[in-house]
Structure 1
Amino acid sequence: MKPMNRSRWRLAAGVCYYRWKRHVQWLLGRKEYARKRQTELLPHVHFQHQTILLRKLQDVEMWMQHNKVTNLRLAAQCLDGIVVQPGETFSYWRLIGKPTRQKGYLDGMLLSHGRVMAGVGGGLCQLSNLLYWMTLHTPLSVTERHRHSYDVFPDANRTQPFGSGATCFYNYLDLQIANRTSHAFQLHVYVTDTHLMGEWRSDMPPTRKYEIVEKEHTMQPSLWGGYERANQLYRHVYALDGEWLQEEWITENRAMMMYEPLLPEAVCRQSGQK
């Protein structure tokens, strides 16, 4: 996992190629993408989650986070109410579209090769993280998800396992979710004054409960210098009465750490995030 330094022109050419490739997949691929929205909510909540909007993070100016809230509101409006019918696939970027200034998106926090920077539409990873985490607690199937390559902030106050999010970058780092069930699912997502809120709802009541479990977590020095972090995520499936049914492997995560492991607890509190 040694970092690779590429020229600005090589990076720009790569972005153009992969964006073009994604558009071709959207147009000519065999997937049936969800696009129908309805204001009336389906009756049964399968999972709901919320994440706080503003956090004090080391080396991140607060104006970036305030702009992020605007970006999240705009993107949430594109996704709220989307119904994923049986056989359809939810595509994060196909529904949101390219975030541009003309659409009202602002400069927010982006992570590029482990560095914090400002960019138009920055902060939308908080929404893709939320959607991925919620989906793991439903019968829906994640068919495309991209892990974060860098672990930027320490674990202080973390409430979810490392690697339980999904990074996004228009349009080729997409989050895609397939509905392989026989029932419709609907996404309800919105922004309050303090939190990003989300729900997966359906026309059928839940029949299972899910727990996400981390295994084989390691922080080890790498040959090239620095540290690498890795783990495996599994899903425990339970009946509604609590009976354990099965364990399912979800994914493997590997990331380059951008901070020293085993930091003093006081330092973690100042620079960490949930």
Structure 2
Amino acid sequence: MRSSLEAARNWFAFAWRRRLRALQNALRRGSFAAERLDRDLPVAILEHHLPLYRRLAGVDPILFENKRRNLELAVARIDGVLLPPGKTFSLWKLVGPPSAARGYLEGLVLQRGRPARGVGGGLCQLANALFWLALHSELKVVERHHHSLDLFPDDHRRVPFGTGASIVYNFKDLRFANEGARRYQFRLRLTEDELVARLLADAEPESRFRVREAEHGFVQTPEGLYRRNLIVREVADASGRPLRTETMFRNFSKCQYSLQEAS
């Protein structure tokens, strides 16, 4: 009985938050990026590769195959999109609802702090890629939700821990605002085993960025094992001369694995 009541409360809470976000979006109609270009803008800012498949204990491999299909659908909605000055990039405004009726399959999702099956699962990897691109640009991140849990130990990690983005349709979005003078473009494609994400622009940027972590470590507490770090961004001018170092955010996430597994 308790589980049924809790499920009902969660359903109504999600429905309310989605309705509220839809209303907020309607009031901002016209401010979101929508135009797409089939050819590349001339200046390459960054290219990022993410592996599609991982071996995870207790996780059905079919969920990774389904994730690939989900990514194919979402990538087709974003690839080539332009972000002109004054506009905002919204992942969910472009992708739309990841429903079974639109072809999405069950993939890996997070429910109550545990890996689970859910329609549209795996799209967080797309959000991770786009967020990493934005961190290396002059774009302003206006909405991003972090992962409160660290589910699995590292497996050939390519970027610092804690630089991902959590998304839930439609009220947990990933959004970037272009407050500069350049047009930006996101290009996405899938290879046999990778998601490839690129950020391009119509002119050379005034600044260059390098993102790294500091103060990384594990902390054992009475509540469990936690992982922490600090994400910093080194900013240089177009010639490479260092300008400043920015503190982006701190991470402190509960691990769903042991310290031995992390070694």
Whether TM exceeds 0.5 here: the answer is yes
CA distance in 1, matches of 2:9, 2:216: 34
Asked whether the equivalents of residues 49 and 198 of structure 1 are also in contact (C-alpha less than 8 Å), the reply is yes
2:240 is aligned to 242
In structure 2, what residue type is equivalent to 1:138?
A: S
Shift of residue 195, structure 1, vs aligned partner? 1.0
Q: Answer with 134-143 or 124-133: which moved more.
A: 134-143
Q: Is 1:226 aligned to 2:231, yes or no?
A: no
Partner deviation per Cα, 1:74-101 (whole Å, 9 max, x = no partner)? 0000001111110100000011000112
The equivalences for 1:54-93 within 5 A come to 54-93=53-92
Asked whether the equivalents of residues 236 and 244 of structure 1 are also in contact (C-alpha less than 8 Å), the reply is yes
Shift of residue 30, structure 1, vs aligned partner? 7.7
Shift of residue 252, structure 1, vs aligned partner? 2.2
Q: Is 1:172 aligned to 2:171, yes or no?
A: yes
Asked whether the equivalents of residues 153 and 262 of structure 2 are also in contact (C-alpha less than 8 Å), the reply is no
CA distance in 2, matches of 1:63, 1:30: 38
Q: Is 1:135 aligned to 2:134, yes or no?
A: yes
Identical pairs, percent = 36
CA distance in 1, matches of 2:99, 2:147: 23
Asked whether the equivalents of residues 154 and 262 of structure 2 are also in contact (C-alpha less than 8 Å), the reply is no
Asked whether the equivalents of residues 71 and 124 of structure 1 are also in contact (C-alpha less than 8 Å), the reply is yes
1:208 is aligned to 207
Q: Is 1:254 aligned to 2:256, yes or no?
A: no
Gaps of 5+ in 2: none
Partner deviation per Cα, 1:80-130 (whole Å, 9 max, x = no partner)? 111111010000001100011221111111122321111111100010000
In structure 1, what residue type is equivalent to 2:55?
A: K
Shift of residue 58, structure 1, vs aligned partner? 1.8
Q: Answer with 108-117 or 196-205: which moved more.
A: 108-117
CA distance in 2, matches of 1:236, 1:157: 24
2:156 is aligned to 157
Gaps of 5+ in 1: 1-5, 266-274
CA distance in 1, matches of 2:53, 2:233: 29
In structure 2, what residue type is equivalent to 1:53?
A: L
1:124 is aligned to 123
Partner deviation per Cα, 1:11-43 (whole Å, 9 max, x = no partner)? 222211211111111011487111111212211
CA distance in 2, matches of 1:256, 1:8: 24
1:105 is aligned to 104
Q: Answer with 58-67 or 248-257: which moved more.
A: 248-257
Which secondary structure state, in structure 2, belongs to the residue aligned with residue 263 of structure 1?
helix
Partner deviation per Cα, 1:36-77 (whole Å, 9 max, x = no partner)? 112122111111111111121121111000010000010000
2:43 is aligned to 44
CA distance in 2, matches of 1:173, 1:245: 33
Q: Is 1:193 aligned to 2:192, yes or no?
A: yes
Which secondary structure state, in structure 2, belongs to the residue aligned with residue 32 of structure 1?
coil
1:3 is aligned to none
Which secondary structure state, in structure 1, belongs to the residue aligned with residue 259 of structure 2?
coil
Partner deviation per Cα, 1:135-190 (whole Å, 9 max, x = no partner)? 10111111100000110001242221110110111111100001111011111111
Residue 96 to residue 264, structure 1, CA distance change in 2 (3 Å): closer
CA distance in 1, matches of 2:76, 2:237: 34
In structure 2, what residue type is equivalent to 1:251?
A: F
Computed over aligned residues only, the root mean square deviation of the Cα atoms, in angstroms, reads: 1.8
In structure 2, what residue type is equivalent to 1:257?
A: C
Alignment size in residue pairs? 259
Which secondary structure state, in structure 2, belongs to the residue aligned with residue 219 of structure 1?
strand
Shift of residue 264, structure 1, vs aligned partner? 6.6
